Amino acid sequence: MKQIEGVMYQTNAPKGIDPDGIYFVQVDTTKCEGCGACEEVCATGAIQSINDDYIHQVVDTAACMNCGQCLVSCPYGAIYEGVSYVDEIFEKLKDPDTVVVSMPAPAVRYGLGECFGGAPGAYVGQQMHAALRKLGFDYIWDNEFAADVTIMEEGTELINRVKNAGKKDTLPLPQFTSCCPGWMKFVESYHPDLLPHISTCKSPIGMLGALAKTYGAHETHTPAKKMYTVSIMPCIAKKYEGLRPEMADSGYRDIDATINTRELAYMIKKAGIDFNTLPGEDPDPVLGESTGAATIFGTSGGVMEAALRLPTRHSPASI
Ligand code: SF4
Ligand code: SF4
């Protein structure tokens, strides 16, 4: 275990093990005051009192959705993230035999600026790309590319469900998104009857990890086995998603590491990069390009607006 800015982390991220058995959030029982705020916000009962002093703990990792709501609700700062890849990523960035690829989510560029004194929600996408390049990432690819792919796939699937509604072998309406791994685990664990309503598409990061080590590797003449893909996400549940056993369609682990916005900010600060004076830069070609529809994924209502913009001749407006 290691102390970083008051947070205890596992220094080695777990690999090749069942993510349902991992504590992605944990309680520092020496800081817990037994107020119960975490239990009140937990939708599944995964965090409970464990003794007469009302000290709380995550008692069931399989029941925990890794949503992080208990962590942000604890008034005493007693809940921390149990998994971090930060040290491993710094090592990979120094290794000349590893090609390190960045894959930041749309939302990260709306949260990162606040870590450097900016206004909450301010867009800092171009400075984020520059900071990733300065950190030493070999390819600045971007999950906005895969957000566009997702919206084309999910939108097309929705249109087909609507057009074929009521016909034999057609998946039912309404269609729900599969993008959120907390939501996915909740449905799988508590409402498996809803699974036919979930989009059959992967989340954007699920797509980009596989695309990076197949199409991206081919286009850049990089052996996929040398590639190390870093998912940069706004939430803890994405660490769970990256470790799901089925995320290996490329023939390798599609996602090698997952960090959140705060951890990226920590890495930028630790590397001594003056974020606020960075000139804006573009991502790299092949898997870095995207449309405005992908950018608005990171804002409330953005996924739905992106779906409604779907530029196909079968657009939702025509059905
Ligand atoms: S919210 Fe924090 S202090 Fe309160 S019971 Fe939960 S872990 Fe303990
Ligand atoms: S992360 Fe979410 S599901 Fe897990 S214990 Fe905390 S509030 Fe409950």
pLDDT digit string (tens) for 250-294? 999 999 999 999 999 999 999 999 999 999 999 999 999 998 888
Look up residue 176 and give its DSSP letter.
B
Distance from residue 269's CA to the centre of ligand 1 (Å): 29
**pLDDT for res 1:** 40
Q: In which domain, by residue range, is 259 found?
A: 86-146+202-309
**pLDDT for res 311:** 54
Which element (helix H / strand E) includes 9? strand 7-9
CATH number at residue 71: 3.30.70.20
Q: Are residues 105 and 77 in the same domain?
A: no
Q: Are residues 110 and 251 in the same domain?
A: yes
CATH number at residue 121: 3.40.50.1780
Strand partners for 9: 2
Q: Are residues 121 and 220 in the same domain?
A: yes
Name the band, by pLDDT with cuts 50, 70 and 90, for residue 16.
low
Each residue's pLDDT tens digit, 130-175: 999 999 999 999 999 999 999 899 889 988 999 999 998 899 999 9
Decide which of 81, 109, 130 is a domain's last residue. Answer: 81
Residue 110 included in any domain: yes
Residue 163 included in any domain: no
Cα distance from N-terminal residue to C-terminal residue, the chain:
55
Distance from residue 317's CA to the centre of ligand 2 (Å): 39
- What total of structural domains would you count in the chain? 2
User: Pick from 101, 66, 64: which is nearest to 256 by CA?
Assistant: 101
Q: Are residues 129 and 236 in the same domain?
A: yes
The rounded Cα 83 to chain-centroid distance in angstroms is 14
Q: Whose CA is nearest to atom 7 of ligand 2?
A: 42
Q: Whose CA is nearest to atom 6 of ligand 2?
A: 70
Residue 185 included in any domain: no
Distance from residue 164's CA to the centre of ligand 1 (Å): 49
Segment 9-15 shows an average pLDDT of 48
